[in-house]
Structure 1
């Protein structure tokens, strides 16, 4: 995958999409380049802890992958367009007073109810039970 900043073209194999601005191509979250990560996740072997479904890879580029990539670039284009507003909002938030724990306690916000801190329950649906059992059987032992 390469990006041509002059023509604003993203090349993937023999295909391409445009326009993809340099800001969208280089968009990162916590240092992770979003478009590159998106493609790598779909085309290379995943090496993290995962479910068996994470190892399923398409053997060729599909129309669905094109649709996903176009949707991703559209979302990232929107994120880039909002960066100045987000920066301004963050600055305004950081320069204002914070709410103290004691005020939140007095207002009844703290402590949170036990139902808000309890671990979620696993729902056992009879329709999905066979699939869950299959996935659990395929999972590598720790």
Structure 2
């Protein structure tokens, strides 16, 4: 489960699954939430304080956007459609909202859910200095006149990510191995920036579009900046995973809002479409 501050198209991230994108807002002004008003009212009544659409999506991020959720509910994930355990405990809900806001801040590179007072500036997130990925002296990825690199390799002993003739230090195995929807994120990122971007033809045998060959002839400085930003985000997400897994287990061990109660409350007074 991922979050973005941009408007995703049908091919967002993986090149498919566009129908699984759900906007938080129904309007451009971000005033009309794409969350059932009856659900928000039910949660506010349950927890004893006002609840916003942002709170709901932050809760989802905290509870569902981490590997422990996938591992715990793997048999259920065979069938399409995600199901979330909805806590009846106000303190657990609040804890999840706080954690989920950081998750979304990280996924959106500091563009959404930023709050400087909570340590979330409106800027690309960074790890603590000693742990942050860095390009050391002699490790710069060559630009012009060198061509775009075609290789990316990881050295787990040195914790060094090689990109062509350059390299980045302080890259953990967890950053390198991080996957979303079965795709290794760092390699997936590089595959769109390397010299040879051709892919095996599967199904459709039409010739590639000429647009596929429109690309820089050398590594751009902003590519290195993007890579450092990505690695910092992945490092911080990995660091949050134990807290997310622990919170999920405590939610599952505590009282949950029952499906029948939820359906009854949402059906009262007429049907309302829930997206």
Name the TM-score, length of structure 1 as normaliser.
Answer: 0.64
Report the 3-state secondary structure (helix = DSSP H, G, I; strand = E; otherwise coil) of the residue aligned with 1:71: helix
What pairs up with 1:109-128 in 2 under 5 angstroms? 113-114=272-273, 117=275
Task: Measure the CA separation in 1 of the matches of 2:160 and 2:223.
Answer: 17
Alignment of 1:12-91 (within 5 A): 12-43=163-194, 44-45=197-198, 55=212, 56-91=214-249
Relative contact order: is structure 1 or structure 2 higher (C-alpha 8 Å, sep ≥ 6)? 2
What is the Cα deviation at residue 101 of structure 1? 3.4
SS at match of 1:60: coil
Higher percent of residues as strand: 1
Structure 2 unpaired stretches of 5+: 1-151
Q: 1:29–1:17: structure 2 CA closer, same or farther, 3 Å change rule? A: same
Give the RMSD, CA atoms, in angstroms: 3.0
CA shift, 1:82, in A, is: 1.0
Matched, 1:11 2:170: no
**Partner in structure 2 of residue 104 of structure 1:** 262
- Per-residue deviation, 1:69: 0.3
Q: Which segments of 5 or more consecutive residues in structure 1 lack a partner in the other structure?
A: 118-142
TM-score, length-scaled by structure 2: 0.36
Question: How far did residue 6 of structure 1 move?
Answer: 2.2
Q: Cα 1:97–1:13, aligned 2, differ >3 Å: closer, same or farther?
A: same
Distance 2:219 2:267 in 1: 50
How many residue pairs get aligned? The number is 114
1:63, 1:16 → 2: CA distance? 14
Query: How has the CA–CA distance of structure 1 residues 100 and 38 changed in structure 2, closer, same or farther, with 3 Å as cutoff?
Result: same
CA apart distance, 1:109: 7.1
If you compute each CA radius of gyration, which structure gives the higher value, 1 or 2? Answer: 1
Q: Distance in 2 between matches of 1:69 and 1:109?
A: 47
Counterpart CA distance in 1 for 2:165 and 2:267 is 56
Greater share of residues in helix: 1
